[in-house]
Amino acid sequence: MASSTHVSDDDVLTNADDQQFEVFCIIWLDNNMQANDDRDTEQKLRSIINRFKRFKDVERCQQYINARSTEDRLIIIVSGRFGRKIVPTIHNLRQVISIYVYCMNEADNREWSKKYTKVKDVVTELDKLISQIEVDHKIQKIIAQFKTITFIFL
Asked if 123 and 101 count as a contact pair (C-beta separation under 8 A), the reply is yes
Asked if 132 and 109 count as a contact pair (C-beta separation under 8 A), the reply is no
Per-residue pLDDT in tens (0 to 9) along the chain, 154 residues: 444 444 444 444 444 444 456 789 999 999 887 655 678 888 999 999 999 999 999 999 999 999 999 999 999 999 999 999 999 999 999 999 999 999 999 999 999 999 999 999 999 999 999 999 999 999 988 887 776 666 565 5
Domain residue ranges in the chain: 9-153
pTM of the model: 0.81
Measured between alpha carbons, how far is residue 78 from residues 15, 122, 140, 142, 145 in Å? 21, 10, 20, 25, 27
Cα–Cα distance measured from residue 20 to residue 5, given in angstroms and rounded to the nearest whole number:
14
Architecture of domain 9-153: 3-Layer(aba) Sandwich (3.40)
